[in-house]
A and B are shown apart, each in its own frame.
Chain A
Amino acid sequence: MSPPSRVGQGRCRPRAMHPPARTSAKIVVHLHPTSSNKDLGPFQSSIYSYIKLSFKEHGQIEFYRRLSEEITQRRWENMPVSQSLQINKGAQAGRIRAVGIVGIERKLEEKRKETDKNISEAFEDLSKLMEKAKEMVELSKSIANKIKEKQGDITEDETIRFKSYLLSMGIANPVTRETYGSGTHYHMQLAKQLAGILQAPLEERGGIMSLTEVYCLVNRARGLELLSPEDLVNACKMLVSLKLPIRLCVFDSGVMVIELQSHNEEEMVASALETVSEKGSLTAEEFAKLVGMSVLLAKERLLLAEKMGHLCRDDSVEGLRFYPNLFMTQSE
């Protein structure tokens, strides 16, 4: 292909002098040479035999998938000719052009074969790696069985070692979990770190945060080497046994929270009752806004207040509203 030549002022723009620091993803669509009986297209001629699509804001994965599908299905070949587009563009007004991309598939196919070759090498290596990983899984199963057989004859130290091996490989440990839990030294350390990191945020939020909030907060702060959701849960399960100043609680709904040890949800219920009484009635959203809590935790507090008999619910299609429980407070 010959280098582009200057056709005229404004027709051929020179490349930018300073390429951008990051380039966006591209899909290059290679075109077949045109057949002699083809209608005129948007351009009389071009020195390029390809179209480059640039994805500045992503979407290339799904686009590529659909484009490949269409190239394979070739639905445009079944469309009647009269459906061609009419493009009105200055000097080219009134011309009817056939819709469609001609003969891309050969080049796409070549490209796919090359990519496939790279991928198949990667897949091969991956398969070999998985074989080795499978051996590790088999070995861990046999050790787990041995541990089951010899209950108590394996030291705690060895159990901890075994669990950390399982953690590295990502193997679940059904045997030891019942006896010693899923925690390892790593999780113990993590629990202590969390107690330090979460002290201030908890105080700012009235002493309680949902586990999802904690997950986001901690991982946003870390930036790298993030915690998995399971890491977080396993570490939090050790908070109480390690006598740390924060603890993990689970509400009836399954919602999990971290609380300051000093936090007493039942005491908070008393003040919630006051707030609801002042306003007559409140929904979880209204209460959340008033008190400055997340809706999730606001709802849990109101539900707890209801469970303790301080609030009554009015559950209608307009929403769930809580009222002070006058049956309790007003004597016969």
Chain B
Amino acid sequence: MHRRGVGAGAIAKKKLAEAKYKERGTVLAEDQLAQMSKQLDMFKTNLEEFASKHKQEIRKNPQFRVQFQDMCATIGVDPLASGKGFWSEMLGVGDFYYELGVQIIEVCLALKHRNGGLITLEELHQQVLKGRGKFAQDVSQDDLIRAIKKLKVLGSGFGIIPVGGTYLIQSVPAELNMDHTVVLQLAERKGYVTVSEIRSSLKWEVERAKQVLEHLLKEGMAWLDTQAPEESQYWLPALFTELYSQEITPEEAKEAIH
């Protein structure tokens, strides 16, 4: 056999060695991926076993759901990230929350013209339960909060604002900054707030208070009562407890499924 030139041979050898190094690099990742794949299959089996014993518990017991969600969060897992995830597929948690999301959207849309896109968690809860009907599974307020947190990613302005001991749910892309939130919290006690109250409680100047209140008026989240005895009152329809039991009218429902 005829010998090749040392130069060409050396280069060829070097290239071969480089290729082998590269290969080894990918082989390392390949190994770990293969390991993960195997462990994933094992985990899936464990989850199936868990589901066969406790799927009902998750479905029926809201405290168990909370525990489950909290544990997932602690280890860095989001069981609601995808309908294609194991958790969703095998425990059925996905469908439960995603459907709840649809119902929440529809209630918020139907009532938006009344409350400007702000609703208390209590009222939302009541209306959602009504919409679900007698034979559907009960849902807790915690369930609603988790479903709403997932809806944020759709970009239509879903937000959760803590007020008093509860929450206001925002469902419109209106900008509500710290100032607005603080005034909402102040208004939660009586359902309305006045400029004087803001000045005395929050120590703001009149201008700042007025700006915030005007923004809420413009967004339809507050209504102005100029006939109040001492000074104008800014009422929040979201906080009118008397309106809670009012049914959603057919016209309002139509707006929701537009």
Chain A positions near chain B (C-beta within 8 angstroms): 22, 24-25, 56-62, 118-119, 122-123, 125-127, 129-130, 132-137, 139-140, 142-143, 146-147, 150, 153-155, 158, 161-162, 165, 167-172, 186, 210-213, 215-216, 219-220, 224-233, 250, 253-256, 285, 294-296, 315-317, 319-320
CB contacts (< 8 Å) of B39 on chain A: these are: 135-136, 139
Q: Please tell me if the beta carbons of B84 and A25 are within 8 angstroms of each other in the complex.
A: no
Contacts A127-B71, A139-B32, A171-B76 given; indicate if A215 touches B86 (C-beta within 8 A).
no
Contact A170 B87 (CB under 8 A): yes
Separation of A56 and B134 alpha carbons in the complex (Å): 6
A-B contact count (CB 8 A): 223
Contact for A169 among B62, B77, B99, CB less than 8 A? B77
Question: A226 touching B81 by the CB < 8 A rule?
Answer: no
Q: Which of A123, A133, A147, A219 contacts B43 (CB 8 A)?
A: A133
Q: What is the interface of chain B, defined by CB distance below 8 A to chain A?
A: 22, 25-26, 28-30, 32-33, 35-37, 39-40, 42-44, 46-47, 50, 53-54, 57, 61-64, 67-68, 71-72, 74-89, 94-95, 98-99, 101-102, 105-106, 112-113, 129-130, 132, 134-136, 138, 140-141, 150-157, 172-173, 214, 217-218, 220, 224, 255, 257-258
In the assembled complex, how far is the CB of residue B70 from the closest CB belonging to chain A, in whole angstroms? 10
How many Å lie between the Cα of A294 and that of B110 in the bound state? 11
Q: Are A255 and B29 in contact (CB-based, < 8 A)?
A: no
Q: How far is the CB of A188 from chain B (nearest CB, A)?
A: 12
Q: What are 26 residue pairs bridging A and B, where the CB atoms are less than 8 Å apart in the complex?
A: A56-B134, A58-B129, A58-B136, A60-B138, A61-B140, A62-B140, A119-B61, A126-B54, A130-B72, A146-B28, A150-B25, A153-B25, A154-B26, A165-B33, A169-B40, A170-B77, A170-B82, A171-B78, A172-B78, A211-B155, A226-B94, A227-B98, A229-B98, A232-B154, A254-B173, A320-B218
Closest to A253 in B: B173
Tell me the bound Cα distance from A210 to B172 in angstroms. 12
Closest-by-CB residue of B relative to A319 is B218
A296-B85 in contact (CB<8A): no
Q: Are A228 and B76 in contact, with the CB atoms below 8 A?
A: no
Q: A254 and B157: CB pair below 8 A? A: yes
Q: A153–B26 contact, CB under 8 A?
A: yes
Residues of B within 8 A of A161 (CB): 33, 37
- Decide if B32 touches A146 in the complex (CB within 8 Å): yes
CB B80 to nearest CB in A, in angstroms, measures 6
Q: Which of A57, A118, A147, A317 contacts B129 (CB 8 A)?
A: A57
| Beta-carbon contact of A126 and B157 below 8 Å | no
Closest-CB distance, A313 to chain B (whole angstroms): 11
> Does the CB pair B105–A212 fall under 8 Å?
yes
Say whether, besides A210-B156, A228-B83, A219 and B102 are in contact (CB < 8 Å). yes
Tell me which residues across on chain B come within 8 A of A56, comparing CB atoms: 134
**B95 contact set on A, CB distance < 8 A:** 224-226
A253 and B88 CA atoms in complex are apart in Å by 32
> Roughly how many angstroms separate A123 CA and B175 CA in the complex, as a whole number?
41
In whole Å, how far is B83's beta carbon from the nearest beta carbon of chain A?
A: 5
The residue from B84, B135, B151, B220 contacting A231, defined by CB atoms under 8 A apart? B84
* Distance in angstroms between the alpha carbons of A256 and B87 in the assembled complex: 28
Complex formed: what's the CA distance from A80 to B75 in Å?
Answer: 52
CB distance from B157 to the nearest CB of A (A): 7
